[in-house]
Amino acid sequence: MRIHVDDNVLVTTGKYRGKTGKVTRIITKHNRIVVEKVNIRTRHLKKTAERAGERIQYEAPFNASNVMVICPNCKKTTRVAYLRLENGKKQRICKKCKQGLDKQFQKKPAKAKK
């Protein structure tokens, strides 16, 4: 799947069209994603002897084809392309500005020995 957790996305279709949010969970088996503050549903829990009845709001998953990734560099919605690096790994890049979408993991500086 071309969308990863912590990507900023724009919803392109449906009730929440035009809203943006961060991807919190991915369900690859069903090609679905969960986005913060988008597709809010309410579950009504019945009263029992142990607890009172209540309404719980949660973010429901929806199809990943209904969103587009927002490039952190050019701030535009874009499709995702892949670039194969010299070491054989693939990096996601923005189709519009050709910059990398993935966060670069930098090594921490070595601690000085005492």
What is the reported pLDDT for 102? Answer: 84
Question: Beta strands 77-78 and 90-94: pairing type?
Answer: unpaired
Residue 43 neighbours by CB under 8 Å, 6+ apart: 55, 56, 57, 58
Q: Are residues 99 and 56 in the same domain?
A: no
Q: Is residue 99 one of the residues assigned to a domain?
A: yes
pLDDT of residue 108: 45
65 and 82: one domain? no
Do 46 and 18 sit in the same domain of this protein? yes
Q: Do residues 52 and 95 both lie within one domain?
A: no
CA dist 12 and 102 (Å) reads 22
In tens digits, the chain (114 residues) has pLDDT values of 899 999 999 999 999 999 999 999 999 999 999 999 999 999 999 999 999 999 999 999 999 999 999 999 999 999 999 999 899 999 999 999 999 998 763 344 555 565
pLDDT tens digits, residue range 88-108?
999 999 999 999 998 763 344
Tell me, yes or no, whether 80 and 50 share the same domain.
no
Strand, coil or helix: 83: strand
**pTM of the full structure:** 0.82
Q: Kindly state whether residues 61 and 80 are assigned to the same domain.
A: no
Please give the residue range of the domain that contains residue 81. Answer: 76-104
> How many domains does the chain fold into?
2
